[in-house]
Amino acid sequence: MAVRNIICKELHQMRWIIIIGLLVGFGLAVILASTFGYLDQIVEEIPPELFELLSQYEVTRELLAIFGDYTLYVWSQWHAKNLYQIGALFAIIIAATQFAGEVSRRTIGYYLTRPVSRREGYLAKVASGLLVLLIIFAGGTLMIWAVSAITGQTADWGRFFVALIISLVWLAAYYLLGTIISILNREPVTAGIIIGLSGILLSLPGMFAVSRPFSIFYQMRAVDYFIYGQSLFPPLIYGLILNGILLLIGLRVFAKKDF
């Protein structure tokens, strides 16, 4: 099957991204899972005076809660930080390389003249990109689980994985946006910068409490579900709908583009 053939080629082409991504993921996972114990200790050793000083900031209570609760801690480091930061970075790199990169390397002419429709050509690349992101984060997540198991730390893995799915769905949305921008650019570096900038723009709603849920990165942190205990369905469904819309836009942009 042609699409499968392309996916294999894309994965092979992105092998270094996958390797580095996995290494980074593993590294962060190991750090995350193994330092929890030490943080616990540190918190216990905070002198009472300092504690009082710190308790002026509401943040302190959450902080302590995090340091006391492994599940919360893992979420704060993984979903709420690494995943969306590193994830966003990799999404940018992958999206920029897959389209603008192929144009700048001039191989797009070969790619598009295979007996494959523009539609399939786009979907194959998108599937590959999402697969790479999935591999990297699945790898990292498994590593967390493994190290946690080794160090005997338990967490509410059920909620963890559900939150992970929400996060990945919204990460996918950012990636898809990235592909659209990448298609419209001839240079991967330029594309990457623009995708990054639009990421910054998209994170602006996150600065104000009122508009926070409209930030794509807020959603990537799966906050509503994980922290506020809300239903997983709204973020999941909205995320999937957004992905659907972006996919359709991407298909159209790719189909209409002159290369």
Closer CB to other proteins, residue 12 or residue 61? 12
Q: How far, in Å, CA of 163 to CA of 141, rounded?
A: 12
Q: How far, in Å, CA of 222 to CA of 53, rounded?
A: 31
Closer CB to other proteins, residue 210 or residue 256? 256
Query: Which residue shows structure tokens 């002159």?
Result: 258
Interface residues with other proteins (CB under 8 A) are 2, 5, 8-9, 12-13, 105-107, 109-110, 112-118, 256, 258-259
Closer CB to other proteins, residue 5 or residue 41? 5
CB of 109 to other proteins, least distance (A): 5
Number of Cα atoms under 13 Å in the Cβ half of residue 204: 6
CB of 185 to other proteins, least distance (A): 17
CB of 123 to other proteins, least distance (A): 15
Q: How far, in Å, CA of 51 to CA of 180, rounded?
A: 49
Q: What is the dihedral of CA 239, 241, 243, 245, to 10 degrees?
A: -150
Q: How far, in Å, CA of 192 to CA of 249, rounded?
A: 19
CB of 111 to other proteins, least distance (A): 9
Closer CB to other proteins, residue 37 or residue 109? 109
